[in-house]
Structure 1
Amino acid sequence: MKTVTSETGFLLIIIAVSFHYVMCTLDVSDSLYRFRCIKGKCIRKHRESLGDTEQYMETLNQCRLLCGEYGPLWPIPTGPLRLGQETKEIIPDNISFDYSNSPEEAEVRRYLNETQRIFVKTLLKECNRNCNHTTTTNLFVFINIRTGDTTLSWSTNESYELHLRSNDDNIEVYITALTVFGARHALETLSQLVASKYYPDGNCLLILSTAHISDGPVYPHRGFLLDAARNFISLNAIKRQLDGMASVKLNVLHWHITDSQSFPLELVSFPLVTKHGAYSGNQVYSQQDVRMIFDYAKHRGIRVILEFDAPAHAGNGWQWAPSAGLGNLSVCVNEQPWRKLCIEPPCGQFNPANPNLYTVLQEVYADFANLIPPGEILHMGGDEVFFGCWNATQEIVDYLAKQRKGREQEDFLDLWGEFQSNVLELWDRARFDDAPLSTILWSSHLTDPNVIEKYLSNGRYIIQTWVEGDKDLPKQLLKKGYRLIISTKNAWYLDHGFWGITSYYNWRKVYNNRIINNSLVLGGEACIWTEFIDEHSLDSRTWPRLAAVGERLWANPNIDASKVEARFYRQRNRLITRGLNPEAVTPYWCVQNEGECQ
């Protein structure tokens, strides 16, 4: 057994006390104030001014559990909702689950078992891992899944019905869903219908004694793009984002895993790419790491869509090719002056004039096909191709000349279109056991409505637009029959406001951003590009603003941010409880005095 010095022991005590203080200040039985729901708002009142007959609750979170049309729920349900006004005390040890009416397939049971574990862990965190106050109330959760399908896609039914009722010392919860993902969302909702209660001998949870909720998402694609190539993001940091996403029912992690700055993804076919492209040997995502993230995400109701960006954003990692006798697979790599060759340093674009490029990419796409789950798609990037780089590369200019093409924009567009057609064929070939799937490209010069139909079929390509909210591009593409994912540049680019002339978008701006409601609009994504962010600042740049995106894409409510403040503050509190570090959005006085700071 290790011996702890007195100084070390004292430090450990201070750390433990500080941690307990931070956790408990989220929602404690305050000796000064009590709260009461009046006209849909939790009103604060000093304890010494309370009358003997006035019924005030000990904490703000307890009040919010019983206050307002939607109580503490985030995002709001989209169907009929009825929340009770009474609570019962429970502890996680007294919760049991029944799947007897669900399919017996092993994958379904494995999913439900893991979802159950996450649910109980979430409740333990809610009461500061000290849920040991004595209570005789039992919580029984009955889950009825109607299908054995565990595939998460744009066509997956994520809806659910949740009915909660009480009798004597028992609380019964009945969850009905078509898929395991709907059941997961129902348990997420159930976890939000609780608040901590504190006793001298330990804590417990208050849970609503009755509730009836019918719910399902408006958009099938509710995403978050995480750039892990500009700055390496550790697996633990990625898992934290997934935990936060699950809490607000976002269902797609768009993992931008390669770029010109680094290529941290291990490739089985060409390990030299990572050797030359990773920042260090410790900053690499192994094949096992990526599969683990896929699995971790799925049990939280989240798809992972990998992005292999091409033909631009392809620099570091490809320098080994000439010495291997393959010529220049990528050109302009790390060249200066960068402003003439790319959007941002370091430069690097694939070389479509080199036939070896397609031989190599065939094996790279096979690596991706073997890595991602069957039936999952690949994001093929396709943004910010810089014609100046190709125009400065003699072998590309000569290649175009042999095709009787010049050096105008339309000539480089044709070259780009040829590249895209070739790599789509490579991707299909790598996945020869499956029917052709759609793929995603960023909006770009190639997706301009005036030329897009020449190069990209609306049956194969989904366009992710990243223009300002007042731009007409999404509507023009919809008229041409293209499916869209919308990332509103001046609202949902969460890295903005810290560089150049970009602006910071507060959570209200994020929440009030509405995207087109059209059957061809799959949904939207908020984006974090990490030129000026790493894993130490990731949480605060992302959260709690990403929660605002979660409600917008799940429910698309016809209300603005001024009507949701209390629930939003409760959700921020919930994120902290679950281990994230969201930025502060208002003084705590405003949190305690609802509506006074608008």
Structure 2
Amino acid sequence: MFSYKPHKGFLMTVPDVIFLFFFIISYSSAVHYGLNPSRSEFKWICSNGKTRCTRVEADYPSTETFSSVELCRLACGDASALWPQPYHISIKNRGLIVINPEAIAIRTNPTFENVMSRDVIEVFKDNLRKEYNNCLSHMETKLILNINWSSNISILDWNTDESYHLEVKTQSETAVQININGKNIFGVRHALETLSQLMTSYPENDNSTCLALLRSVLIDDKPIYSHRGLLLDSSRNYLSIATIKKHIEAMAASKMNFLHWHITDSHSFPMETPSIPNMTVYGAYSRSKTYKYRDIKNLIYYGLVRGVRIILELDAPSHAGYGWQWGPEAGLGNLTVCLNQQPWRQACIQPPCGQLNPANQNVYDVLEKIYRDMVGLMPWSRIFHMGGDEVFIPCWNNTEEIVKYISGRGRSTQVFYDLWGEFQEEALKRYDKAVGNKNSKIIIWTSQLTDPFYISRYFNKDRYVIQTWVPDTDNLPEILLQKGFNLIISTKNAWYLDHGFWGTTKYYDWRTVYENQILLDPGVLGGEVCMWGEYVDDNGVIGRTWPRAAAAAERLWSNPMSSSKEVEGRFYRHRERLITRGIAADAVIPRWCYYNEGQC
């Protein structure tokens, strides 16, 4: 801002007059172009066939204008401001009604009401609180929210019915009724998330904001894929519980339902195992960088209330180093081999090296105890991730103990594959023993053993789910489907969100993530976006992951035919929603583009 100080006296010099003239012109120009924060010079209209919000001057000659792009987005487009796009939505009335959220009356079915259902509703209320402040008026508008579900099932797996029905009916200027029906609490939770997205802030004055609600909407919704996941890796770099909770909140806002927690690796073993305290004593980066047993259990419940199930991964036999080195001291021999071997390129894919020792039977006893502890964390243990990728054959081939163990069988690649298969077979037996049944589904990564030539030799299609991490040009998923395996797909050249920050990898923007279409086949359970942890920690992992992961969320929920260009207004709005909820999602466009849809 210019600062003008005239000469003493009442008369101005010619330079003073010229300066004042240009000051007035400059200030007027600043006001005209919206740079004056004291008042808004813009409004928005729903244009382009009622699909896009366009910014116009405040004096635009129309009664159908909105004071913010958020209000416009709520009333504009086939899917309103919703992310992900619902399976079916019918907007009966695009008008908005202002409500005081403090006046919402919530009625539930007492038959199935419990602690979890009350917590689900409290999360919904908390999300609304972040959208308004000190709402004083519109108390006369009665908003009745009827919530009903027909089962007390609290198990979230690939067979859970997550569908819901939602109807908003504005009966008069002072009466709004909302009906939600779901098969279970998870469908209800999704409906409440959708309902929260059908509302946005409505400023009454400088000190008060209420909520605006779309007047009449009918939604029947369900996901296309049953597995809509995000992988987090907290072994390479420790992630705090608070950070993991933020990811869960972002997943809930985006209707993602499986958090794949890669909790251990050769770098560290931060997961507390009560039966074997040595795992964290020898494996955690420090005492403060461990996951306490009770904290993991609480986090699992925190996720469930938000419609997110945590799947723990104990990677083996590769990616196992620190945390396992106490064997000789305890009289159990070498539990791991090639630990921190140098030069590392001769013993592993990535430093520090480390692989479990299949020649030492004590390894399986330790694994069984760890499995038992992990099963105790989970309310159900029918799904577990065993890792199982990137076994480095030269490590075993150069370990005297292992070479002696396979003596007489030779040292061909096939022999080492068979050894790897033996490890997997025994590990599965120990997991089944820990669980107490043989019905669990075991997820493993694609590897040499899942090559179509070998896979049926080592894996039972009725027990194992294969997580593929090949590029979209690779036909491996199609071949594995033909062999009868169920799949989770993590497209390496679109859904690996750590790419672009190391080596020759390429960064995948949200449009690339969104437009990656995976196979639509009964054998494809769904997909996962992956944020591996080599180059992220608490300081950057949220922004690296979000909002890009949300782009995959819509692909996995409704798999629309729309291009990223057609959905960008809703996507940008969803990023703002995440910000409002305290999730530091990274910027994906200049602010100007957010205010001017379709022009970037």
TM-score of the aligned structures, taking structure 2 as reference length: 0.92
Q: Does 1:109 align with 2:114?
A: yes
Shift of 1:138: 2.3
**Amino acid aligned to 1:361:** L
Q: Does 1:87 align with 2:96?
A: yes
Amino acid at match of 1:123: L
CA distance in 2, matches of 1:430, 1:72: 46
Which residue of the other structure, out of 434, 447, 453, is the alignment partner of 1:450? 453
CA distance in 2, matches of 1:440, 1:266: 22
C-alpha displacement of 1:64? 0.5
Alpha-carbon offset, residue 461 of structure 1: 0.4
In structure 1, the residue matched to 2:131 is 126
Aligned partner (choices 301, 308, 327) of residue 302 of structure 1: 308
The code of the aligned residue for 2:589 comes to T
Q: Is the 8 A contact 2:155 2:380 kept in 1?
A: no
Q: Residue type matched to 2:388 in 1? A: G
- 1:198-232 Cα offsets, whole Å, 9 max, x none, are 12241100001211000000000000000011100
Q: In the aligned structure 2, how far is the partner of 1:30 from the partner of 1:370?
A: 58
Task: Note if 1:483 corresponds to 2:494.
Answer: no
User: Is it true that 1:230 corresponds to 2:236 in the alignment?
Assistant: yes
Report the CA distance between 1:142 and its aligned residue: 0.5
Give, in angstroms, the shift of residue 346 of structure 1.
0.3
Query: Compared with structure 1, are the counterparts of its residues 268 and 54 closer, same or farther at alpha carbon in structure 2 (3 Å cutoff)?
Result: same
Alignment-mate amino acid for residue 91 of structure 2: R
Partner of 1:413: 417
- Would you say 1:538 and 2:541 are equivalent positions? yes
Give CA-to-partner distance per residue, 1:117-149, whole Å, 9 cap, x none: 11111111112x443445321221111101121
Q: Which amino acid aligns with 1:476?
A: I
Whether the 8 Å CA contact 2:396–2:402 is kept in 1: the answer is yes
The aligned counterpart of 2:184 is: 179
Measured after TM superposition, the shift of residue 322 of structure 1 is 0.5
Q: Secondary structure in 2 aligned to 1:84? A: strand
Partner of 2:44: 35
- In the alignment, structure 1 segments of 5+ residues that lack a partner are 1-24
Superposition deviation, residue 66 in structure 1: 0.5
Quick one: which amino acid aligns to residue 433 of structure 2?
A: R
Q: Is residue 2:386 matched to residue 1:380?
A: yes
> Does the CA contact (< 8 Å) of 1:98 and 1:143 recur in 2?
yes
- Choose from 354, 358, 366 the match for 1:360: 366
- TM-fit CA distance, 1:435: 4.5
Instruction: Indicate conservation of the 8 Å contact 2:95/2:215, yes or no.
Output: yes
Q: Which residue of 1 aligns with 2:158?
A: 154
1:530-569 aligned within 5 A:
530-569=533-572
Q: CA deviation at 1:185?
A: 0.3
**Residue 194 of structure 2, aligned match among 171, 189, 195:** 189
2:57 is matched with 46
- Please say if 1:474 is aligned against 2:477: yes
Q: 1:69 aligns with which of 74, 78, 85?
A: 78
Per-residue deviation, 1:240: 0.3
Contact 2:235 2:262 in 1 (8 A): yes
* Structure 1 residue 369, shift from structure 2 partner: 1.6
Partner of 1:496: 499
Q: Output one character per residue of 1:321-347: Cα deviation in whole Å (capped at 9) or x when no partner.
A: 111111100001111110000000000
SS at match of 1:318: coil
One of 522, 528, 535 as aligned partner of 1:519: 522
Deviation at 1:376, TM superposition (A): 3.6
Tell me how far apart the structure 2 counterparts of residues 159 and 549 of structure 1 sit (CA, whole Å).
19
Asked if structure 2 preserves the Cα contact closer than 8 Å seen for 1:124 and 1:131, the reply is no
1-side partners of 2:282 and 2:343: how far apart?
22
Q: Which residue in 1 is equivalent to 2:442?
A: 439
Offset of residue 303 of structure 1: 0.7
CA distance in 2, matches of 1:584, 1:29: 26
Structure 2 stretches of 5 or more lacking a match?
A: 1-33
For 1:83 and 1:522, the matched residues in 2 are separated by: 34
Q: Which moved more, 1:510-519 or 1:75-84?
A: 75-84
- The aligned counterpart of 1:11 is none
Give % identity: 47
Q: Distance in 1 between matches of 2:169 and 2:196?
A: 15
Q: Which amino acid aligns with 1:279?
A: Y
How far is the alpha carbon of 1:559 from its aligned partner?
Answer: 1.5
Does the residue aligned with 1:589 lie in a helix, a strand or coil? helix
2: CA distance between counterparts of 1:395 and 1:372?
36
2-structure distance, mates of 1:137, 1:148:
32
SS in structure 2 at match of 1:85: strand
Choose from 425, 431, 449 the match for 1:427.
Answer: 431
SS in 1 for 2:88: coil
Partner AA of 2:458 in structure 1: Y
> Could you say which residue in structure 1 is the equivalent of 2:581?
578
Query: In structure 2, what is the equivalent of residue 167 of structure 1?
Result: 171
1:212 counterpart (206, 209, 218): 218
Distance 1:83 1:497 in 2: 44
What SS is found at the alignment partner of 2:320?
coil
Please say if 1:253 is aligned against 2:235.
no
Report the more deviating stretch, 301-310 or 91-100: 91-100
Let me know the Cα RMSD of the aligned residues.
1.5
- The answer on whether the counterparts of 2:381 and 2:435 sit within 8 Å (CA) in structure 1 is no
Q: Which amino acid aligns with 2:96?
A: T
1:389 to 381, 391, 395: 395
Q: Contact 2:227/2:526 (CA < 8 Å) preserved in 1?
A: yes
Q: Secondary structure at the match of 2:114?
A: helix
Contact 1:89 1:135 (C-alpha < 8 Å) held by counterparts: no
* Rounded Cα–Cα distance in structure 2 between residues aligned with 1:181 and 1:132: 33
